[in-house]
Structure 1
Amino acid sequence: MSLRELPPDQQAKKSVRRWGRLYYVPLVILFVLSAVAAGTGYVVKKHIENTPPVPATPAAVSGPVSTVSHALPASCRPAVTPPAQQLWLTGKADKAESVWDAHKSDLSKDYVLGKNGYVFWNDIQAMNFSQAVGRRTLSVDEAKTWHAYLASLRDELAAQNIPFYIVVTPAKWDVYPQELPDWAQSIRGSGPLDQLLHQYPDLPIIDIRTPLRDASKTTPVYSRVNSHWTDYGAYVGWKSITDCINTTTSALGTLTVPAMNGVTTSDKNNEFAPFNITSPVPDWTTPNYEPALKPVTLTKSDGTSSFVPGDQATDMSLLPASTTTAGAATDKSALFVRDSMGNSLSIPVQQEFAQTWQVRHNFDMTVPGGLPDIPKLVAQHHPDVVILQVAERHLNFPPATK
């Protein structure tokens, strides 16, 4: 599936669904959320098909966060500047909702226009814009579902001495929050990623928002007209990921990033072209690799293999697939469980690992039993590491495991 296509989770239907509003006590220590209390429901005008409902009256949670000693060091989760206000989370959701309702005209299309030519998907895509402003948060049960699923994987892999990392690839609005429309700035609040990071620090989630924000000050890491990070954005992300892995395990040797010499900027991969929207400037950035990347043998699910250039991404539409790279940076192997944000990321991953097996995580499919059997895949392939890459917007879909 190319970047120009909407994944299955983004096919829209119009209807009305009741969602729960969660109130949180004020944030402590930067962006963290300390407790969740019951709240009332609000109406979402447009939602994705099969999006799981949030309970209208979730049970309150006041217990301590998990303290199991699996937490990654602070270097894997550099501080992220929190939104200035937290209206949705501090008992002022009605005020925030009134601002939202006052801009129905801005929210009437499948996309929302931001500042300086930035375009964001509306709630047609995984409650995207509600997540962008903190209007859509996880219920108590949803957060617990995520933790139960991810902690189970962590523990099963740890028992086999296989490193496990969760990479939440940030949404464009979490790297460029300043480009959200002016009216959204006053109601922007923390969202599901912040919830999980605070409530469950035992999960091996790598937070790469700060490195991406820093890099974006000089070079685009997301295009104005695409919700995915650019090839250069993925390169920056991989650098941050390898820094974390190198800090926390020696089992893989020292991971690296391919050498590059600047970037090329183009106007390709415009997701919003069907709406006759264009970027005011070319801003899709691609690393200039020097020396050239090594070619990759790509094997599709039907067993057919072909040589592809090293700088060619393995598109999500080809999954499940495997790759081998002669002369890769390491002789190690990786099980790479991913979504479309893994397209660009596959380029440096395939250069690093001599062997990869790549499968979709299917969280966005919301089909019970549709998730890949990761322990079974591990038993089959015996990878040296398992990397689960999840687009931030897909935190909207707690795993449907039954």
Structure 2
Amino acid sequence: MTGDGLRETAPPPGRRRGALARLRYVPLILLVLAVIVATVLGVVETRSADDEKTSARTSGTAPAGPSLPAVCAPAVDQQIDVEHWRDDQLEPAAETAFARGIARSAPGHVRGRDGWLFFTDAQAKDFSQAVGRERQGPSSIARWNDYLGDMRRAAQARGGRFYVMIAPAKWDVRHDRLPTWAQRLRGTTSLDRLMQVYPELPFVDVRAALRDASEPTYSPLNSHWTDFGGYVAWQAATACLRADGVDGVDVPPITGVDVTDDRNEFAADGVSDPDEPAWTQPRLAAAHPDTTITSIATGATLQPLPGDVVDMTQLPVRTSTSGAQSSETLLVLRDSTGSALSPLWSTSFARTVQYQHPVGEMGAPVDLAAIVDRERPDVTIFTMTERYLSFDPPTS
């Protein structure tokens, strides 16, 4: 050994090192080479693909900053003190508590506080998502970034703007209504991770507005935001759009909020309709402007649902509104959460084009580039219910 570190002892003079002696270094050399190759390829992980101690960014570069004005994604306090699902010591106890709570629940719903019901995992692993037990791992998050990035480039190719508006699950906005045992288990969700790792994606985050609203924006027996919740969400979204240069769009004025019977999604699970009304609706100061709805598939003129709603079952459609706030065209990829937003979209934009997004088991393929080339939208919004983040994005 010399002063500059450990060295191999030289063989005695006149003695040749044998092949077997050299072979004992082969495993070490192979191990070093394997580590180098794995590091270069970016596949070294300490636990698994879902281990959040690894980076979701394979490039190794630092996250870029938000691409939209600050008003588009205000801070959301999730009030999570401990991450149960990524801690080797806490996770077994959390799994036991989760299994015990689910075992006491009905097949289709979990009963929360004050009569609020939440879907079980039978609906897109919904309740596991609610507490962060199920969430996208680094590779899935990277695929979502690629998918949304491709959509953004397709929308911008014709000079339009592109936005991502995830419609929050009610367990995200009203986590205070989860059962007490589930509140103790809450951890980071897929949406939070996606926004943390890729903040440069054009997110319009409406959770803070929905939580701070003057009236309830969700109801006990339905997973969607209420009509008033949609109103609040579009109010927050249009503030973002205006700050980003989309002039003139806003929510129409209202004179108050009405409360009607809740829309019970759990009747098939044996849940009776509630005694108290709980579905909030904005009371518009003026009637919705005249809007024509046309089926893209058949060319037929369609009738809106009450409240001038375009239902998901009618998609794809085009709408044309005389006297809209803006003369521009809006393209939306949406699901059922867009029902409450649809009359607001046709109030804000003279022309809308609405397709069902292709995420999930029921989603049909959508060639966004071809639609953009044909429709030339000024604004494109991808809006999707939060629980659909349990799925990987389409690959084509």
Contact 2:219-2:262 at 8 Å conserved across structures: no
| Match of residue 373, structure 1, among 351, 367, 376 | 367
Q: How does 1:240-389 map to 2 (within 5 A)?
A: 240-248=236-244, 250=245, 252-274=246-268, 275-300=270-295, 301-306=297-302, 308=304, 311-365=307-361, 370-389=364-383
1:278 to partner: Cα distance = 3.0
C-alpha contact (below 8 Å) 1:259/1:289 kept by paired residues: yes
- The alpha carbon displacement at 1:38 in A equals 4.8
- Give the counterpart letter for 1:400 in structure 2: P
Residue 326 of structure 1: how far off its partner (Å):
1.0
Which consecutive unaligned segments of at least 5 residues does structure 1 have? Answer: 1-35, 41-54
TM-score scaled by length of structure 2: 0.82
For residue 83 of structure 2, the aligned residue among 77, 83, 86 is 86
1:73 to 69, 73, 78: 69
Q: Which amino acid aligns with 1:340?
A: S
Instruction: Return the letter of the residue paired with 1:277.
Output: S
Q: Distance in 1 between matches of 2:342 and 2:56?
A: 40
Correspondence 1:221 to 2:217: yes
Aligned pair 1:192/2:190, yes or no?
yes
Q: Which secondary structure does the structure 2 equivalent of 1:193 belong to?
A: helix
1:345 corresponds to which letter in structure 2? L
- Compared CA separation, residues 102 and 276, structure 1 to 2 (3 A): closer
For the 8 Å contact 1:220–1:233, the answer to whether it is kept is yes
Aligned CA distance change for structure 1 residues 85 and 338 (closer, same or farther; 3 Å) = same
Helix, strand or coil for the counterpart of 2:113?
A: coil
Per-residue deviation, 1:348: 0.5
Counterpart of 2:158 in 1: which secondary structure? coil
Deviation per CA, 1:350-376, whole angstroms, max 9, x where unpaired? 111111110001201277xx4311111
Per the alignment, do residues 309 and 278 of structure 1 end up closer, same or farther by CA in structure 2, a change over 3 Å counting? closer
How far apart in 2 are the matches of 1:95 and 1:330?
54
Aligned counterpart, 1:120: 118
Q: d(CA) in 2 for partners of 1:345 and 1:65?
A: 37
Normalised by the size of structure 1, how large is the TM-score? 0.81
The 1-side partners of 2:51 and 2:362 are apart by: 22
Contact 2:222 2:262 in 1 (8 A): no
Q: Structure 1 vs Structure 2: percent identity of aligned residues?
A: 35
Structure with the largest fraction of helix: 2
How far, CA to CA, are the matches of 2:239 and 2:320 in structure 1?
Answer: 23
How far off is 1:77 after superposition? 1.2
For each residue in 1:121-144, what CA deviation from the matched residue of structure 2 results, as whole angstroms up to 9, or x when unmatched? 000111100000000010221111
Give the match's secondary structure for 2:256: strand
How far off is 1:100 after superposition?
Answer: 0.8
Q: 1:164 to 1:89 in 2, by over 3 A?
A: same
- Kindly state the Cα deviation for residue 67 of structure 1 after the two structures are TM-superposed: 3.6
Tell me how many residue pairs correspond in the alignment. 347
Looking at structure 1, the residues matched to 330 and 292 of structure 2 have their Cα atoms a distance apart, in angstroms, of: 15
Q: Which has the larger radius of gyration?
A: 2
- 1:151 corresponds to which letter in structure 2? G
Return 97-106 or 386-395, whichever deviates more: 97-106
Report SS of the residue matched to 1:241.
helix
Letter aligned with residue 93 of structure 1:
E
CA deviations on 1:93-115 (whole Å, 9 max, x unpaired) are: 22211211222423451111000
- Aligned residue in 2 for 1:32: none
Q: Is residue 144 from structure 1 mapped to residue 139 from structure 2 by the alignment?
A: no
Alpha carbons of structure 1 residues 276 and 289: separation in structure 2 relative to 1, 3 Å: same
What is the CA–CA distance in structure 2 between the aligned matches of 1:291 and 1:115, rounded to whole Å? 37
Contact kept, 8 Å, 2:63 with 2:197, in 1: the verdict is no
Q: Give 1:153 shift.
A: 1.7
Match of 1:26 in 2: none
Q: Distance in 2 between matches of 1:224 and 1:350?
A: 28
Whole-Å separation in 1 of the counterparts to 2:278 and 2:139: 40
In the aligned structure 2, how far is the partner of 1:163 from the partner of 1:151?
12
2 CA distance for matches of 1:342 and 1:257?
A: 15
Provide structure 2 residue ranges, at least 5 long, that are not aligned to the other structure: 1-43
RMSD: 2.3
The one-letter code matched in structure 2 to 1:293 is H
Q: 2:182 and 2:53 mapped to 1: Cα distance?
A: 29
- Is the 2:310–2:339 Cα contact (8 Å) retained in structure 1? yes
Displacement, 1:72?
2.1
Q: CA deviation at 1:160?
A: 2.8
Whether the 8 Å contact between 1:162 and 1:384 is mirrored in structure 2 is yes
What amino acid sits opposite 2:283 in the alignment? N
Cα 1:255–1:224 shift into 2, 3 Å: same
Q: Shift of the alpha carbon at 1:307?
A: 5.6
Partner of 2:393: 399
Matched with 2:100 is 102
